[in-house]
Chains A and B, each alone.
Chain A
């Protein structure tokens, strides 16, 4: 400490330069394909490991960005701010969402670091966060249905006959195919996100074409969520009651009014809860579980 004080005191004529340096951060290093691979691999590797209820996959996303952010922000305060903003709530699918957004985020962070180094108006932290949050939902909807819903089961279906005959290749081959395919196109998405993000950074700020892309992805994401809701939520009523020797089956009555009304009701109640109370996922989970347990103990569902 005392040495530093002595050093600044000795450099009195240079104090103006020191002040200017305080506003500017050192020039960032150039981002190479190797850095993109490091960040993609970091996200791919961490992906679900640090999953929490309150921030979901944000820690994994931040983990992937660590080596790149270190190259971009040689200033300790800016680096700490960058770490902190990427630990905020984030949830998406690994390749379509995470790959693309790793690339887009790196390009935005690079633009911000360069602007800070050159003393220009930088892209704001909010802008980086809004881009991530705006794209993560739609891309997750697409990625969940394509990667885990389609690609995975295509490979399993192809090699299942091996397993049925007792051959271990029936397990190993679908795993290897899935792992190699998703890793490869996930890296491709990262590179695409990086080059697209750099060109699109301005457009996102002013609206324009990027708003159309986000809208289109929103349509596709909500559409796929509707399909998944119809196929994967299994809630039906087992309630039966007898009035003057006539038995009424509640599910039959519901089917004549509107088939699939109960799963839809569950989703809409949760959605309505999130709209009113904000995205409180843990509470949503607890309330839903309690409701399902209570109703099913009495065989209402």
Chain B
């Protein structure tokens, strides 16, 4: 099957990415952002090859399996990665593994784009303070929802369109060049280390120093038992048991 990427197809994919990355479709966009599946499906619909798009996307999903964003910092953007990697793979008749090699670096670059959105929001949302002070509910609602949505669309649609329409053919060549270079090493290291931020933020927010031993207990449990591949649910059950024990013993002490 011969697939092409017209101006309209590139625009539609860019619009989809803006819808997901602006988060304007509510909390359910979490799984559209963390998982490549929905983006891969949309790219398949738009480019007219759902079957191959899903096969490539399933391979990319395996790379991002188990991705979470502790405290809000995701180390890569699977949605952006997929929106570029799947069209490139479909155009070039590439293997799913080739698509992964494109998705990973694009995803790392994309995570900076998402952080940049927070940065723009930080300054652009100032009018909300004015409306709050006036008790103006309508203005407040617009400042909170309207402004950041416009920012996201202005940020993601042009960039994604340019990357897809002009960049998609160039990207595969570029990725082959940087795959083993220092740039990709730096991106990988930064992506791998940034998760520390969200965790430290939550530790500070919980703010009870006397409970810190439980953080260390869990950290060394997960390091020591890494090879056992224990699921998150089992760890959550351990955590709940420790929490119940802690509350039971400390409350007894105070009543005696």
User: A and B: partners?
Assistant: yes
Interface residues of A (CB under 8 A from B): 44-54, 56, 59-60, 62-63, 66, 70, 76-77, 79-80, 83-84, 87, 91, 94-95, 133, 136-138, 140-142, 144-150, 152-153, 156-157, 160, 163-168, 170-172, 174-175, 178-179, 182-183, 186, 212-213, 215-235, 259-260, 263-264, 266-267, 270-271, 273-275, 279, 281-282, 284-285, 288-289, 292-293, 295-297, 299, 301
Considering the chains assembled together, what is the distance between the CA atoms of A32 and B98 in angstroms?
55
- Nearest-neighbour CB distance to chain B for A218, whole angstroms, equals 5
List of B residues within 8 angstroms of A62 by Cβ: 128, 132, 140, 144
B40 part of interface (Cβ distance < 8 Å): yes
B24 part of interface (Cβ distance < 8 Å): yes
B135 part of interface (Cβ distance < 8 Å): yes
Instruction: Check A260 against B119 for contact (C-beta < 8 Å).
Output: no
Q: Which of chain B's residues 39-53 have a Cβ closer than 8 Å to chain A?
A: 40-41, 44-45, 50-52
- Nearest-neighbour CB distance to chain B for A151, whole angstroms, equals 9
Asked if A49 meets B201 with Cβ closer than 8 Å, knowing A144-B69, A270-B196, the reply is: no
Instruction: Check A235 against B243 for contact (C-beta < 8 Å).
Output: no
Instruction: Check A51 against B232 for contact (C-beta < 8 Å).
Output: no
List of B residues within 8 angstroms of A297 by Cβ: 182, 186
Considering the chains assembled together, what is the distance between the CA atoms of A295 and B189 in angstroms?
9
Instruction: Check A50 against B145 for contact (C-beta < 8 Å).
Output: yes
- Nearest-neighbour CB distance to chain B for A160, whole angstroms, equals 6
B71 part of interface (Cβ distance < 8 Å): yes
Instruction: Check B214 against A142 for contact (C-beta < 8 Å).
Output: no
Considering the chains assembled together, what is the distance between the CA atoms of A219 and B243 in angstroms?
5
List of B residues within 8 angstroms of A149 by Cβ: 66, 68, 232
Asked if A282 meets B122 with Cβ closer than 8 Å, knowing A150-B233, A171-B40, A171-B54, the reply is: yes
Instruction: Check B28 against A175 for contact (C-beta < 8 Å).
Output: yes
B6 part of interface (Cβ distance < 8 Å): no
Additional pairs, 12, CB under 8 Å, beyond known A223-B243, A270-B197 = A59-B144, A94-B30, A137-B205, A149-B66, A150-B231, A170-B37, A227-B218, A227-B221, A229-B199, A233-B196, A273-B200, A299-B182
Instruction: Check B193 against A63 for contact (C-beta < 8 Å).
Output: no
